[in-house]
Structures are given as C-alpha cells and as structure tokens.
A and B are shown apart, each in its own frame.
Chain A
Amino acid sequence: MTFKPISFTLNGSSKAAFATEGQNLLDFLRRAVGDLSPKYGCGQGTCGACTVMIDNVPQLACLVLAESVEGRAVNTAAGLANGPRLDPLQEAFMERFAAQCGYCTAGMLVAARALLDANPRPSREEVIEGISGNLCRCTGYEPIIDAILDVAEGRVQA
C-alpha cells in the first residue's frame, strides 16, 4: 500500500496526514485526520451526510479524492462553532428541533452555512433548493427549513 502526504487547512488549522491511494476525503478526514463530524451515508453522493466545504464551496467528501485537497482549505461541521460560541445555525437547529437522530445534521449544517454565506436572505424555496443535496430520514425537513430561515431572517442571535 502506498501513502501520500497531504498538507491542508482544516477548520483554519494547518494539518498534514497520509492518505492511501484512491482514498476519498471522507475516509481520510475521519480515519487519518480524526475529524469525525462528516458522516458516511452512501459513498455515492446521494445523501449529503459527508458535506464539507473546500475553499468555501460545499462538496461531497465521499466523492473527493483526498489528495486533491493538497494546499486547500477544508471546513467541516466541527469547525462551525467559534470556540464555545455556536454558529447561529447550530443554535437555530437546537431551538427548532431540526435534528432527531442527528446523523444528517453535520452535513446539513455545512450545506446551510454555504447557502447563507452565498445568499444571506434566501427565500423558503431557495432554502429548500440549498439543502436538496442532503437527505434527512427523521425530521421531514420542515424544522430544518424553519431553522435556516430563522437565522436568515434574524430571529436567532449567536
């Protein structure tokens, strides 16, 4: 087995670790780097549980070749909070009961953060579109949509 050294930034901190050949970013982040916040739900791009940002663009870690993040900036749900201060989206998800089993939540939050970064005042339809790459089997989506709109419309302060 061959290993490739990879240097990148994770949630603002410099990291270096070894990836195996052909390893995807999800597996690399979880097993080699130890960030367990992105989740495996399919390995096929269909569930969105592995969503991370690469250079501020939301992508599916299970479909990204780990070595392609060399020198780039990766952000995950584990980095959403600023120290003890939670991201307003995290607060809103807690208030709105927007997580039940919690398995989709990390990916959902990253997708939601990406949406609000690009479009701070989305309409309800834009929110639905913004999380359309993320599946949730528990909540029925409505509490998630409400939580994101709460943040967008300034009803939640961090």
Chain B
Amino acid sequence: MAVQVQTHSSLIAAQQALGQGGTYLAGGTLVMRGVNAGEVQGVIVRATDPELRRIASTSEGVRIGAGSTMADILASRDLDFLHPVARAIGGPQVRAMATVGGNLFAPHPYGDFTVALIALGARAVLVQGGPRPVEELMRVRARPPLVAAIDVMRPRDMRAFGWLKVSRIKPKGVSVLSIAALLVREGGRVRGARIAFGAMGAHPLRSAGAERALEGQALDATSIARAAQAACLGLEPPTDALASSWYRREVAGVHLRRLLEQMA
C-alpha cells in the first residue's frame, strides 16, 4: 500500500477526512520520518487553514494555533514565558518545522513543549467538541482528536514558572527528561502546585508526589528535599537508548531539586 495525500483548506474538512481513517500531517518531523521508513501508509491529511498558525491574545490568555511552530513561538512577544521551552526543542531546522499540535502527540522521549503546557494548565481547543485540558488529551493519544489551538495563561508572576531540560548532547539533544513547574505562591506558601515531567513515562505527565510535597509549603530546603524524594512516586520511566529507567529514576529528583532551588 502506498501513501495518498489530501490537502484541505479548512480544519473541519480535514477532520471529516480523518473520520475515514488516516494520519494528520502537521510539521511532519515525525510523520514524514514514518513515511520515509514505510511505516506510515495510506491516507495523509494536510490542512492549509490560516487559523492554524495564528497566535492571538484573548481574555483567557494566549491562543496558539496548533500549527504554530517552535520558531513562531520564539517570534511571539506574548509568549516570552515559553521561549526557553521552544528554544530547547531540536535545532533551528526542527524548530522551524515542529508544531505545537504535533508535540502533543509526539511519542516518548519527545513532547517537551507539552510538558510546559501541562504545568501551565493549558487547554486544547478541539476542531470538534469543547476545550479539554492538555493533560487529559494524553490519555487519548492512541486516537487523538484534531486540535485547532491551545489556550494558555501567562503566569502572573514570571518567577512562578520554571523549566529545565536534561539532555546528553548540547546544545541540541533529545530529553533524558524535562521538567516544568508552576508554583504560584500566596503569602509565601505554594498553592495549586503543578509539576510535569517529560520522558518519565509513556507521555508527559504530572508528578503527584512532588506536587503533594510542596502544596501549602514554603519553597525551602525542607520542602524541596521532600519533593525531590517524592518525584518518582508512581512513575515508571521507560528505558531507551538515552537512559535506563533506573537512571531516570535516580536523577529525576536531583534535577527537580536544582530547578526548585532556582525558583525558590
């Protein structure tokens, strides 16, 4: 069986085409690799809808078209809080191609941008159906719905958001793991802690252990040590060519501690 490409001018039409089965192609950094290897076959659906690459401020924060690339993020002043995240993905060419929508469904160990979106509590605007937290989308990755845009709120205090990526190759490299944290403090105490990990499971996910250790606490040596200790509770990091599960488990707490110390 060979490949058949359909190009649609609207996302609705693309969604309908996908209803018959097929693969949605965004930036193509992963899908085309599959096509080249003969692993992706059958219908490939593209959309040229200009909405896909729109980045606009709304009352809810910023709406990022799902087809926006990492380079688009870096060019947007409204999204400066996400610049360190976008800059950490691939080299210049990959950043010019890799989209936010594709990152949502990129398999392990990819998905660094999504890690940040989850920590920030971002919501996905679907082509069909209401908005859903990005976090929830992770559970339907086998048959993902077509995402039109992402709504993300700018953290009120920039210091409340922290990001760290660990890779073996510098400056470009795939994640051994990545961490994003949103730690809003009220009266010096952490309220509604959100800590997300990349490459520590089948997909980006939150560390309930670390969040619990920080909730209601001041961000100090004691709470940070407890969070580091609890970082991997309930997580089963995969083994791959970059790192073993054991290694990821060993170092996740150390890197979380370093990030939290910077944010304290």
Contact = CB atoms under 8 A, between A and B. Distances in A.
Interface of A: 1-2, 21-22, 24, 43-45, 48, 51, 57-60, 62-65, 67-68, 111, 114-115, 128-134
A59 B96 contact: yes
Describe A's contact surface by its main secondary structure: mixed
B7 to A, nearest CB: 8
A129 B89 CA distance: 12
Contacts of A57: 71, 96
Given A57-B71, A130-B92, A133-B94, 12 more contacts: A45-B29, A45-B93, A51-B93, A60-B29, A63-B28, A63-B36, A64-B28, A64-B97, A67-B5, A129-B171, A132-B91, A132-B171
B171 A133 contact: no
B96 A64 contact: no
In this complex, the member of A1, A21, A63, A64 whose beta carbon has the largest number of chain B beta carbons within 10 angstroms is A63
Question: How many B residues touch the partner, as a band?
Answer: 20 to 34
Interface of B: 2-5, 7, 25, 28-29, 32-33, 35-37, 44, 46, 71, 90-94, 96-97, 171-172
A24 B35 CA distance: 9
A66 to B, nearest CB: 10
Contact of A133 (B33, B44, B46, B172): B172
A80 B93 CA distance: 18
Contacts of B46: 65, 68
A111 B36 CA distance: 23
Nearest to A45: B29
B5 A22 contact: yes
B77 to A, nearest CB: 17
Contacts of B44: 22, 65
B197 to A, nearest CB: 24
Contact of A60 (B2, B5, B93): B93
Nearest to B96: A57
A41 to B, nearest CB: 12
Contacts of B3: 21-22
Nearest to A66: B5
A133 B29 contact: no
A64 to B, nearest CB: 7
A48 B93 contact: yes
The 8 lowest CB-CB distance pairs between A and B, nearest first, are A133-B91, A22-B3, A132-B172, A63-B32, A43-B36, A132-B91, A133-B93, A60-B93
In this complex, which of A22, A59, A114 has the most chain B Cβ atoms within 10 angstroms of its Cβ? A22
21 contacts: A21-B3, A22-B2, A22-B4, A24-B36, A43-B36, A44-B36, A44-B37, A45-B29, A45-B93, A48-B93, A57-B96, A58-B96, A62-B36, A65-B25, A65-B32, A67-B7, A129-B171, A130-B92, A133-B90, A133-B92, A133-B93
Contacts of A63: 28-29, 32-33, 36, 97
B191 to A, nearest CB: 37
